[in-house]
Amino acid sequence: MVALGGTGVARVDDQRWVRCTQHATVACNWLVPESGEAYQRGRCLPDSLIRREPDASDTVAREKLVPTAAALRRLVFQLVDLGLPIDPWWRRDNGLAFDLLSSYSEGNRVTIGHANGVITIDLVESLDAYRESLRVRLGEPYRTMLGHFRHEVGHYYQNVLVETGAGADRHLAECRTLFGDERAGYSDAIDRHYTFGPPADWDRAFISEYATMHPWEDFAECFAHYLHITDTIDTSREAGMILHGDRVRFAAPGDVEPLTSYADVPVRRLLDDWQWISLFFNRVNTAMGKNPLYPFAIPGPVVAKLDFVHRVVREAAS
């Protein structure tokens, strides 16, 4: 974080930085280098990934673009922090892009999803009442804008890192063993899921009901949870949080101190720490009369899936 003077220019490591051109329209607080490779339209990296957005005259939709763009910036910050590749749509065909549209403006329902690098998000989901009504109707314990971004970018990274990337010859077979064969008919899977629902014992092998629909959705759900977990643990560590085993009022196995990085440890260490940290945050939410922060259980088969995601992410970062 840097403080800007009246000129709106900051100097960091002998490089001059200026405000993103979106600072007034979507309250962006990121900077762009004054010289060197410029992101498209003078925007910071996250905002430059926005391919389509509501027209400036659509003031209602533009208002909803502000919190949505903030969630996008948080997503991109984490992707950069993890070292994942970000190849924008304006640099190459099928690069990462975001269409942030509104069902209320388009006249037709905007379908949230991913196709060929383009992630579409419905701005109406930023309305708490609308999003909550869908969460309840669909039986979901958790539904947020940031969660949508994390899930859909999971589809993107499955495609570029697992199915078509340099490691596809090693990753794809293992991915199919863990998640299922992604070549199974997707439309049929959707119809089956919304007609019959998930299997009765879905919670023994899946992180959510939605993950049971198709192998692509299973991977995306696990990828999203990997981002949920790593970001929350990183935030806890940055705040200096340590759970002291001899002071907590539940049976912790010992002190739980988040690591600076989990890149070089098995995913089991990450999940062991998360078990106790999430328990703490769930109790904090309960104390405020809210639903648990992380209302999910992680069974053994999901641990194996998250281990796969962890290894794919770390390989891409290296």
Q: Are residues 191 and 237 in the same domain?
A: yes
Residue 155 lies in a domain: no
Lowest-confidence segment of 11-15, 33-37, 131-135, 214-218 by average pLDDT: 33-37
Average pLDDT on 118-145 reads 88
Residue 19 lies in a domain: no
262-302 per-position pLDDT tens digit: 999 999 999 999 999 999 999 999 999 999 999 999 999 99
Residue 152 in contact with residue 220, Cβ under 8 Å? yes
The residue out of 126, 147, 169 marking a domain boundary is 126
The residue out of 66, 100, 126 marking a domain boundary is 126
Coil, strand or helix at 168 = helix
Mean pLDDT across the chain, nearest whole number? 93
Residue 132 lies in a domain: no
Residue 144 in contact with residue 70, Cβ under 8 Å? no
Q: Are residues 102 and 167 in the same domain?
A: no
E-only strand ranges, 112-171: 113-115, 118-122
Q: Are residues 64 and 167 in the same domain?
A: no
Phi-psi region of 282 (alpha: psi -120 to 50; beta: other; left: phi over 0): alpha
Q: Are residues 214 and 115 in the same domain?
A: no
Q: Are residues 193 and 94 in the same domain?
A: no
pTM of the model: 0.94
Q: Are residues 219 and 262 in the same domain?
A: yes
140-169 per-position pLDDT tens digit: 888 899 999 999 999 999 999 999 988 888
Q: Are residues 178 and 310 in the same domain?
A: yes
89-116 per-position pLDDT tens digit: 999 999 999 999 999 887 788 999 999 9
What's the confidence (pLDDT) of residue 38?
Answer: 60
Average pLDDT on 15-25 reads 90
Residue 250 lies in a domain: yes
Q: Are residues 85 and 174 in the same domain?
A: no
Q: Are residues 195 and 308 in the same domain?
A: yes
Considering only CA atoms, which of 145, 102, 149, 151 is closest in space to residue 123?
A: 102
Residue 108 lies in a domain: yes
Distance linking the first and last C-alpha atoms of the chain: 26
- Cα dihedral value 55, 60, 64, 65, nearest 10: 20
What's the confidence (pLDDT) of residue 275?
Answer: 95
Domain that holds residue 218: 161-317
The residue out of 126, 152, 170 marking a domain boundary is 126
pLDDT at 198 over 70: yes
Q: Are residues 288 and 245 in the same domain?
A: yes
Residue 292 lies in a domain: yes
Residue 296 lies in a domain: yes
Q: How many domains does the chain have?
A: 2
Q: Are residues 169 and 311 in the same domain?
A: yes
Residue 226 lies in a domain: yes
Considering only CA atoms, which of 29, 68, 32, 67 is closest in space to residue 48?
A: 32
Q: Are residues 168 and 118 in the same domain?
A: no
